[in-house]
Structure 1
Amino acid sequence: MKELQELNSVRAIDAFIHDHPLSFVYISRQDCSVCHAVLPKLRSLLEDYPQIRLGWADADVAREIVSEFLIFSVPALLLFVNGKELIREGRFVQFDSLRTQIDRIYEAYAT
């Protein structure tokens, strides 16, 4: 499974995005059953992309994350490349489509 870095504030997420050119941020809530089902699938998917770092934030712990990143439902999956958001998925994730999107970006940006 892909290593997961816990991010507890907007500042921590911003630093994570800044420090890792290919960064994936997963935002969830503790009482979200969909969140608990999606995370293992996402971690497994990202194993195929060693240069993408994965961070996780609990929207219940740091509520300012929701407003800062305009999160309307969880889970929210955000891929940043060089600090710019290129993929945003929410709630019910189509993993085949997500893989196709990541493949295109990874080919273009990973070295």
Structure 2
Amino acid sequence: MENHFNSVEEIDQWIDDKPLALLYIFGERCSVCHGLQPQVQNVIERYPKVEMKQVNVNKVPDVAGRFSIFTVPVVLLFVDGKEYVREARVVPMEPFEEKINKIYTNYLG
């Protein structure tokens, strides 16, 4: 996935512009991050109205303060600019998808 951010301002603008935005925050040398990303991507592909992008905390260190991030990876889902889901470090896929499905269904319903 090549859609990376270069600044916190870009991220904030994107979140404001997208009704359903999923931000994946990762670190360069984080094996958990690199293992989790394709799993999250596979879940999100089942929800076409959710746009997923990612940011490397090593390249945009301000993201940690902006979103109160203390570890990576972190998955944040925003609905109309408001944070609805926050998962960090180890993210079990089944409960994660249940949360996404519930929000997605309610949002579109």
2:71 counterpart residue number: 73
Give the letter aligned to residue 7 of structure 2: S
1:48 counterpart residue number: 46
Residue 82 in 1 paired to residue 80 in 2?
Answer: yes
Matched residues in 2 for 1:8 and 1:104: separation?
A: 31
**In angstroms, what is the RMSD of aligned CA positions?**
1.1
TM-score by length of 1: 0.94
Identity among equivalent pairs (%): 37
1:16 counterpart residue number: 14
Deviation of residue 4 (structure 1)?
5.5
1:37 counterpart residue number: 35
TM-score by length of 2: 0.96
Instruction: Report the number of matched residues.
Output: 109
Gapped runs of 5+ residues in structure 1?
A: none
List 4+ stretches of structure 1 deviating above 4 A: none
Gapped runs of 5+ residues in structure 2?
A: none
Q: Aligned match of 1:60 in 58, 61, 70?
A: 58
